[in-house]
């Protein structure tokens, strides 16, 4: 199969790799769509994220959908042909965290595109059968792939304890911020406010039903939000969010931040709940329901579509203000116009690989 491989910082190349073989509990998936995540970009730019270091060639990509084309010996063969969204991780299932249901904290976790585990910028992948979730025809391949970042938003809503009628403040109008805003609304929040210093990002967030503010000119400290979700990792945004939460409220840190100053008296005396999120657990069925019910819409988040030869272009274009989600099609060599392809207007060039 053809795979796009990160060989070193700023060095991506196509390689021919063997098609992976199913373990008894796995399915083989022909990959349809793969979203580009900020973590993919970080590995491309820096070769590491915290303790995870790229020390050998690595296939990036962990937001994916596809079609099951083969199954392992212990899997029902009737699953062949099913369209699926993939939860891109393999916990050990036996440690204390797995047994308690917090398998996202499994110390032996194997997660797609996290060294040394390969990801999905390739034509075929395997995953344990119960982590390949059937999707109906009403959910597109792109939206099925984006159930992964939607799961990040769902996990944030769960950790925040968002309930019907809540006010939720979200820092950051990028892809995760916009998706988290939709998830918050899906969980019943009555007022979802997105703060971003970029006018373009604020405009995008407003299209998805959020009330938007410019934190450079508008204060949110009187908002008294029930929940604050940070999707920026920026110290000023986090500190402002903490001040904007009502006493007894919850602060959920999703963005990747360094060490920041934290007022312990403010947290203690106002009884704030400060927590983080690390991936997700049992969120794909919720994501599927939110999509099917129309409470969340993901297709319009796709602003660019690329072929497998264009992965480096997809990685280097991430983060532009006119970009929300970029999609790679591993079964296609190239597309003529990535932005037009996202709108369904451009023909694919090069055909299937």
Taking only the tens place, the pLDDT of each residue in 89-129 is: 999 999 999 999 999 999 999 999 999 999 999 999 999 99
Does the pTM exceed 0.85? Answer: yes
pLDDT over threshold 90, residue 323:
no
Write the pLDDT tens digit of every residue in 270-287.
Answer: 999 999 999 999 999 999
Average pLDDT over residues 243-251: 98
**Which of these, 2, 51, 6, 64, lies nearest to 316 by C-alpha position?**
6
pLDDT of residue 33: 98
Average pLDDT over residues 221-235: 96
Average pLDDT, the chain: 95
Write the pLDDT tens digit of every residue in 131-164.
Answer: 999 999 999 999 999 999 999 999 999 999 999 9
Q: Which domains does the chain have, with CATH numbers?
A: 2-146+298-352 (3.90.180.10), 152-276 (3.40.50.720)
pLDDT of residue 321: 58
pLDDT of residue 352: 47
pLDDT of residue 348: 61
Average pLDDT over residues 167-177: 96
């Amino acid at each position: 199969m053809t795979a796009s491989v990160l060989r070193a910082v700023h060095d991506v190349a196509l390689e021919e790799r063997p098609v992976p073989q199913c373990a008894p509990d796995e399915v083989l998936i022909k990959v349809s769509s793969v979203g580009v995540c900020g973590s993919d970009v970080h590995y491309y730019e820096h070769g590491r994220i915290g303790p995870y270091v790229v020390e050998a060639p690595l296939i990036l990509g962990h937001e994916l959908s596809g079609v099951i084309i083969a199954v392992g010996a212990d899997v029902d063969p009737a699953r062949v042909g099913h369209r699926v969204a993939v939860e891109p991780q393999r916990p050990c299932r036996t440690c204390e965290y797995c047994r308690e249901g917090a398998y996202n904290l499994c110390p032996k976790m194997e997660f797609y595109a996290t060294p040394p585990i390969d990801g999905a910028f390739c034509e075929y992948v395997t995953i344990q059968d119960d982590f390949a979730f059937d999707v109906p025809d009403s959910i597109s391949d792109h939206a099925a792939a984006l159930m992964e970042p939607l799961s990040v938003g769902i996990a944030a809503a769960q950790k925040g304890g968002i309930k019907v009628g809540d006010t939720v403040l979200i820092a950051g109008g990028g892809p995760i911020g916009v998706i988290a805003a939709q998830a918050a609304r899906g969980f019943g929040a009555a007022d979802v406010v997105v703060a971003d210093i970029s006018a373009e990002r604020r405009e995008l967030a407003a299209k998805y039903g959020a009330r938007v503010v410019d934190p450079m000119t508008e204060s949110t400290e009187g908002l008294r939000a029930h929940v604050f979700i940070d999707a920026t990792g920026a110290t000023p945004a986090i500190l402002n969010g903490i001040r904007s939460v009502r006493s007894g409220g919850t602060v959920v840190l999703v963005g990747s931040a360094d060490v920041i100053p934290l007022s312990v008296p403010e947290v203690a005396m106002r009884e704030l709940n400060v927590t983080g999120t690390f991936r997700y657990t049992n969120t794909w069925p919720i994501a599927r329901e939110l999509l099917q019910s129309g409470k969340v819409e993901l297709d319009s988040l796709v602003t660019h579509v690329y072929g497998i030869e264009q992965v480096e272009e997809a990685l280097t274009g991430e983060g532009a203000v006119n970009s929300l989600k970029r999609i790679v099609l591993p079964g296609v060599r190239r597309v003529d116009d990535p932005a037009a392809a996202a709108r369904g207007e451009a023909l694919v060039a090069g055909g299937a690989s």
